[in-house]
Structure 1
Amino acid sequence: MASVNAPRGMRDFLPSDKARRERVLSVIRERYRAHGFDEIETPVMEEYGRLHAGIGGDNEKLAFNVLRRGLDAEAIRAAAEDPAALTDLGLRYDLTVPLARFYATHRAELPGVFRSVQIAPVWRAERPQKGRYRQFMQCDIDIIGDDSARAEAELIVASLDTLDALRLEGATVRINDRRALDAMLDVFGFAPDERPGVLITIDKLDKIGPAGVAAELRERGASASAVDAFEQFLGRAPGGEGPFGEAQIRASLPEGVGDVVIAHLLGIGEAVAAARGEAVPPLVFDPFLVRGMGYYTGTIFELAHPSVTYSLGGGGRYDGMIGRFLGQDVPAVGFSIGFERIVDLVALADSDAAPAVVLVHDRDVAVAELVALKAALVAEGSRVRLEKRTKNLKGLLARASADGYSAFATVAAGTTRSDLELKPLG
């Protein structure tokens, strides 16, 4: 018998799961809208050349590509050695590349500083495993046209506010700057052409530790003197502990990192603290935070919560991406909440939902009577489901309760609206 399961790495959602996801999404939308972000929508597909233009990092390797229309077997064989000749479109693997294309298309119609929200599914040809799906929801906010610390601060404040509204208080943001990373690698003596590989290894610091990082750098063939200097720096006495601030940032970095980057980070922290009404911002400077996307040009950050060991979102500044479409650079920075990760952590009561009623009717009740009763309750603002009485009434009501219904009433022939006696479920 053929499988009737959803495709590997993709999921069905039962009504109760879908309702819970929509409640979380409604909070995210409301909070971001309150912070001045306007929602946009882009197509699920983009042109192949845009998705594979070298601006999507490793995600480009995970793109689902769409065959050109009208190809026959002979054409497919002829182009077998050139996949690009077979495809002209692809499913989006993130929302950032489509946003860059969107802005390039509609720049004349948008404000000078554009604050966008995109909440939509994306597709990646991942190897399916726990927590990794081939189709998943992304929730992105971006600010285009502002190169100041204000943009990062707005993104961070809006995202922390959103987590608070989802009752995930106590979140912090790990923050770094790719320019600080580059300066640090320069101080240690790593050559420019070996830095991409070095950053990949540094990104494993939390998993394999300083000794593991140093060993892997040597295996990669990185400059021996640079690896020695980096290993010595990692083995120094801890100096970057304490609350976020200039002293903590400088103590976390080797001497020689420019003041401009530090000033930018401090400006973000000052703005976030002021907005949150806190003496110290909920930021943690992490000099070894890398984030894998090659398009980041400045500030990078990740959202952390004490209830889990993994990040709940992240983002950064990508000032060079839009210029690939426009021919001139436009500053841009974005933050993405990991919806699939947070939705399982959130327990939001559906307190604002309309009353949900199940009408359990006898077999002999006329269809016209049932539909009229249902219409009367719907007109009063209730959500209504009709169910024929079964021998296992307890099981029927348990299923209705699991689907989010809060009350029920029994209906016999001749029952009117005034006769209905609503009883609580659960």
Structure 2
Amino acid sequence: MASVTPPRGMRDFLPADKARRERVLAVIRERYRAHGFDEIETPVMEEYARLHAGIGGDNEKLAYNVLKRGLDAEAIRAAAEDPSALTDLGLRYDLTVPLARFYATNRGQLPSVFRSIQIAPVWRAERPQKGRYRQFVQCDIDIIGDASGRAEAELAVATLDTLDALGLTGGSIRINDRRILDAMLEGFGFAPDERPGVLITIDKLDKVGPSGVIAELTGRGADPAAVRALGAFLERPQTREHIPFGSAHIRRALPDGIPDRPVEDLAAIGDAVAASRAERDVPLVFDPFLVRGMGYYTGTIMELAHPSVDYSLGGGGRYDGMIGRFLGQDVPAVGFSIGFERIVDLVGEQTASAAPAVVLVHDRDADLGALLTLKSRLVAEGSRVRLEQRTKNLKALLERAANDGYTAFGLVGADASDLEVKPLG
């Protein structure tokens, strides 16, 4: 007998779970739209060559590829060592690569500065584990066509506002810039060709600590003098006096010799975000070793944090070079993605629908026309209504309705004339 469980790393959602997910998505959509973003939709599949163009980082290795139609056994054997000869399409592993292709295709119909929303599932051939799935939803906002820090500030403000609207107040955004990282590695003495590998190791700093980073770089044969310089910086004494987010704050966390431009750009983003959050602390935290693994980032990089958990709830950054790969001319772009699967588990019933939800428990012989009249009247008044035939165990029926999100019930007799609605629970 065939298995009835979903594929590993993929899930079914019962009605109550699905309803909660949709309530959270509705809040996210409403907040994004309130900040001037417009929703688009792209196909779940893209061309194999586009998904494997060297811009998706390690995610390219996790792409689900679609076998070409019409291949016979001989053709499959002949192409066994060349995946590109076997496949011509693949499921999207993120929403950024499809967005770049979308913009290149439709730019003539879009404004010069385009603010997009994409909320959709993506697929990665991950090793399934707690909190890591093979199919999951991403909630992206992107700004294409604006090279200034205004775009990053808009994304940060919209993201933090959305988190607040979900009842997760107190969020913050860790921020860095790839230009700063590159300047730091150059200053430590790492050659350009070894810097991508060094960044991969530095990205593990939170998990393995300074000693683990140094040990891994040494084991990989990185330049010994550069490794020593990095190690000395990681182990440096640090003071804890408070300096408001800004140029001085950022400089205090960096070695000497970092160019002014990226530092001033980050400080300006902080000023803009602070202005929108009246009488609150600036919710930006500079992290000189925030890396984020995507190879397409060219400038600012960001991660969303919340004090209730020790992992990020989303992230993004500037990817000015990606659209040019499809268009033949560079177009500035920056985006931020909320980690929906992580956030939905943190959100309580703050997002519950305010509309009443009523279950009408009717006798077996209740008049159908009268029943539907009652239901239609309640629906017209703004209620969600379910019809349930009365069972011997009324308590169990009402408990199930409550678990499905219903807040009230009414008992309907044979003539379905009178109705008294009472709260559940």
**TM-score (normalised: structure 2):** 0.97
Matched position secondary structure for 1:385: strand
Question: CA 1:241 to 1:316, structure 2 compared with 1: closer, same or farther past 3 Å?
Answer: farther
The amino acid of 1:131's aligned partner reads G
Q: Which residue of 2 aligns with 1:130?
A: 130
Q: Which residue of 2 aligns with 1:117?
A: 117
Matched position secondary structure for 2:97: helix
Contact 1:204/1:213 (CA < 8 Å) preserved in 2?
Answer: yes
Mean CA deviation greater in 312-321 or 236-245? 236-245
Mean CA deviation greater in 325-334 or 74-83? 74-83
Distance in 1 (CA, whole Å) between partners of 2:353 and 2:194 is: 55
Matched position secondary structure for 1:343: helix
The amino acid of 2:397's aligned partner reads L
Distance in 2 (CA, whole Å) between partners of 1:382 and 1:207 is: 49
1:95 and 2:91 matched: no
Q: CA deviation at 1:3?
A: 1.5
Distance in 1 (CA, whole Å) between partners of 2:371 and 2:317 is: 56
Contact 1:358/1:400 (CA < 8 Å) preserved in 2?
Answer: yes
Question: CA 1:401 to 1:279, structure 2 compared with 1: closer, same or farther past 3 Å?
Answer: closer
1:377 and 2:378 matched: yes
* 1:306-363 Cα distance to aligned partner (Å, 9 max, x none): 0000001100010100000011111111000111101111113456443211111222
Question: CA 1:351 to 1:222, structure 2 compared with 1: closer, same or farther past 3 Å?
Answer: closer
Mean CA deviation greater in 370-379 or 303-312? 370-379
1:304 and 2:305 matched: yes
1:13 and 2:2 matched: no
Mean CA deviation greater in 276-285 or 162-171? 276-285
Contact 1:46/1:92 (CA < 8 Å) preserved in 2?
Answer: yes
Q: CA deviation at 1:180?
A: 0.4
Q: Which blocks of at least 5 consecutive residues in structure 1 are unaligned?
A: none
1:216 and 2:216 matched: yes
Question: CA 1:181 to 1:240, structure 2 compared with 1: closer, same or farther past 3 Å?
Answer: farther
**TM-score (normalised: structure 1):** 0.97
Contact 1:241/1:248 (CA < 8 Å) preserved in 2?
Answer: no
Q: CA deviation at 1:239?
A: 4.5
Matched position secondary structure for 1:214: helix
* 1:271-292 Cα distance to aligned partner (Å, 9 max, x none): 1111112475211111000000
Contact 2:166/2:350 (CA < 8 Å) preserved in 1?
Answer: no
Distance in 1 (CA, whole Å) between partners of 2:382 and 2:286 is: 50
Q: Figure out how many residues of one structure are paired with residues of the other and give that number.
A: 424
Mean CA deviation greater in 219-228 or 244-253? 244-253
Question: CA 1:247 to 1:9, structure 2 compared with 1: closer, same or farther past 3 Å?
Answer: same
Matched position secondary structure for 2:230: helix
Contact 1:239/1:248 (CA < 8 Å) preserved in 2?
Answer: no
Contact 1:240/1:250 (CA < 8 Å) preserved in 2?
Answer: no
Distance in 2 (CA, whole Å) between partners of 1:252 and 1:241 is: 12
Distance in 2 (CA, whole Å) between partners of 1:234 and 1:408 is: 62
Contact 2:56/2:296 (CA < 8 Å) preserved in 1?
Answer: yes
Q: Which residue of 2 aligns with 1:288?
A: 289
Alignment of 1:73-88 (within 5 A): 73-88=73-88
Distance in 1 (CA, whole Å) between partners of 2:271 and 2:206 is: 28
Distance in 2 (CA, whole Å) between partners of 1:52 and 1:351 is: 41
Mean CA deviation greater in 77-86 or 132-141? 77-86
Distance in 2 (CA, whole Å) between partners of 1:241 and 1:295 is: 35
Q: Which residue of 1 aligns with 2:261?
A: 260
The amino acid of 1:423's aligned partner reads K
* 1:50-69 Cα distance to aligned partner (Å, 9 max, x none): 11111111101111111112
Q: Which blocks of at least 5 consecutive residues in structure 2 are unaligned?
A: none
The amino acid of 2:127's aligned partner reads R
The amino acid of 1:420's aligned partner reads L
Distance in 2 (CA, whole Å) between partners of 1:380 and 1:171 is: 37
The amino acid of 1:184's aligned partner reads M
* 1:33-78 Cα distance to aligned partner (Å, 9 max, x none): 1111111111111111111111111101111111112222232222
